Amino acid sequence: MSAAPEHAPTMARLSLSDRLAPHMPVLLVPLLALAGFVAIMNPASWLTLTVSGLAMGMMIFIMASGLTLVFGLMDVINFGHGAFVSVGAFVGISVLMLLGHMTSAPSLILNLAAVLLAVIGAMLATGAMGWAFEKIIVAPVYGHHLKQILVTMGGLIVVEQLIIVLWGPEEIYFNRPEALKGAITFAGAAIEKYRLVAVAVGLAVFAAMRWVLRGTKIGLIVRAGVENGEMVQALGYRLKLIFVGVFIAGSALAGLGGVMWALYQEVITAHMGNHAMILIFIVVIIGGLGSVEGCFIGALLVGLMQNYIAFLEPKAALISNIALMVTILMWRPMGMIPVVKAK
C-alpha cells in the first residue's frame, strides 16, 4: 500500500462577492447608519440618534449575550433570562441608593466607584441566582424544549413575584449619579454622557467575550461544545461543568445589562426584564443562535433601527424590529452568523 501523492493544492482567488459574503452582516451596521443619515438629512439629529441607537444596542447585547451562549452550548431555551435582568437592576440600584453619598457627590471617581460596586453586587447576585436556577429549574429538563419553556417561564414569574415581595409593587424612580447626568455637545449634536458610557461598556464586554472565546482554551471548549458537545466530552472535557459556568456567566451578564438598562431608564419595575425579553429574543434570533458576534451585530441593528424609525415615523417604531427580523430571516434563515446547526 503506498501513501497518497504529495499534497499541492491550487489556491484560487475568490470573486469579490464571495469574499464579501462572510462580512456582509458586519457591513449591515454602517449601511443602516448610512441609510439613516440619508433619511434624516440632519447631521446633528443623525449623530444624536446614532449614539443613542448604539448605546441601546450595546445594552441589549449585554443582556442577550448570555442567552445566546446558553442556547448555543446547552440547547436550553431560557424564557426566564429576563428574571436576571430584573434582579440585576433591583440589586444594583439598591446598592446605588445605599451609596447615595457617593452618587450625589460632584466627583467622577466617587460616582464611578459607586456604579462599579452596584455592578459587582448585581453580577454576584445574578451569578449566584443563575447557579441555583440551573440546578433547580433547568437541569431536570435538559433536552426537553417544551418543558424548558414552561419551567423557565414559571421561574420568571416566581422571581418577579419575589421582587415584588422584597421591594414592593411600585415602580422605583431614581437619579443617575451626578457624573452620568447631562449631555455633551459635539458637532452641534447633544449626546448624553451616559450613552457614551454605555457604548464604552458594551464594547469592553464584547471585546472581553471575544477574547475569552477566541483566545483561551475555555473559549475553544465552549465554541466546540456549541457545535458538538458529545465529541468535546470524548476528548476528556467535563462539559457539564462548562455548562454551569456559562450559565452563571450569562446570568451575571444579564445582571450587568439590568443595571445598565435601569440607569438608562432611571426607573425599575419587577417586569422590566420580561419586557426586555422581546428585544433580546429578536437579537438572539437574527444574530444566529449561539453566536456572540451575531448577537452583537443584531443588537446594534435593533438599537439603530428603533431610534431612527422612532424619529422618522414614531408609529412604525413598534413594528420596526419585527420587520427587521423578518427581513434578516428571509435573507439568512438561520440568522446572520449561525453557530448552532439545524437539528
| Closest separation in Å from C-beta 238 to other proteins | 5
Q: Is 228 in the site for other proteins (CB under 8 A)?
A: yes
- Return the number of the residue (104 or 233) whose C-beta is nearest other proteins: 233
| Closest separation in Å from C-beta 339 to other proteins | 6
237: phi > 0 → left, psi -120 to 50 → alpha, else beta; which? beta
Residue 303 sits at φ, ψ, to 5 deg, of: -60, -50
Residues 208-227 as x/- pattern, contact with other proteins by CB under 8 A: ---------x--xx-xx--x
Residue of 61, 90, 206, 237 that binds other proteins (CB under 8 A): 237
Residue of 45, 104, 107, 233 that binds other proteins (CB under 8 A): 233
Question: Per DSSP, what are the bridge partners of residue 183?
Answer: 192
Residues near other proteins (CB under 8 A), total: 26
Residue of 116, 200, 231, 318 that binds other proteins (CB under 8 A): 231
Cell, residue 306: 428603533
Write the CB contacts of 196 (distance below 8 Å, at least 6 apart in sequence).
51, 55, 184
Q: Is 315 in the site for other proteins (CB under 8 A)?
A: no
Residue of 2, 10, 17, 185 that binds other proteins (CB under 8 A): 2
- Return the number of the residue (241 or 322) whose C-beta is nearest other proteins: 241
| Closest separation in Å from C-beta 315 to other proteins | 41
Between the alpha carbon of residue 128 and those of residues 43, 133, 156, 269, 309, the distances in Å are: 45, 9, 16, 21, 39
Q: Is 230 in the site for other proteins (CB under 8 A)?
A: yes
Task: Enumerate the H helices of the chain as residue ranges.
Answer: 16-20, 24-40, 43-74, 81-98, 100-103, 108-133, 145-167, 193-215, 217-234, 239-265, 272-287, 292-312, 317-331
For residues 221 and 242, the answer to whether their CB atoms sit within 8 Å is: yes
Rounded to an integer, what distance in angstroms lies between the CA atom of residue 171 and that of residue 173?
6
Of residues 7 through 26, those in contact with other proteins by CB under 8 A are 7, 9
* Chain residues that interact with other proteins, rule: CB under 8 A: 1-7, 9, 217, 220-221, 223-224, 227-228, 230-239, 339
